[in-house]
Structure 1
C-alpha cells in the first residue's frame, strides 16, 4: 500500500500497479478498488517505447516510436494489454 499513496510520485504508483498485477497476480478488480480508495486512479502516465523495424525483402524498415498517455485506472483494465506488455 506504500506504492498507492497520493503523496508519492506517479511513477512509483505505476511500479506498484505493475507489481501487484504481474508479480503478485492480484485480480484487476482489487487493484481498481485500491486505486480508487487511495484517490490516485486518475493520475496520468506517459509511456514511450521503440518498436524495431522489420526486414522487408532484405531491407530493414525504419524503427517506430510509440507514445501513450493513460491513467492508472485505464492500465488496470484488461483492454490496455499493449501498454502493460511493454512495461512487463
Structure 2
C-alpha cells in the first residue's frame, strides 16, 4: 500500500431479494464508473456465498481521490438504487 493510499473494505448486506436485485442491476455501471475515476487504484465488489452479501474492496491514491469518489457516488444512480442498504466498512488512510 502506498504511503497516502486510502482503502475501504467491508460488506454490503441486503435484507431482501428486492434489494439484492437492485444491487445486481446497478453494480456493473457503478464498477465501470468508479474504475474510470482519477486516483482509483482498484475497485472490487464481489458476490459471496450468501446471495444477500457482497464484499467491497476499494483503493485510491489519496484522500482527495477517495473523497471525489464518495461525492460522485453519492450523486449517482448507484446511490439511489442502494439507499438504505446496510454497509459495514472500514476505511484506512484518512486523517
Same fold per superposition (TM over 0.5): no
Higher helix share: 1
Report the TM-score, using the length of structure 1 for normalisation.
0.29
Report the TM-score, using the length of structure 2 for normalisation.
0.28
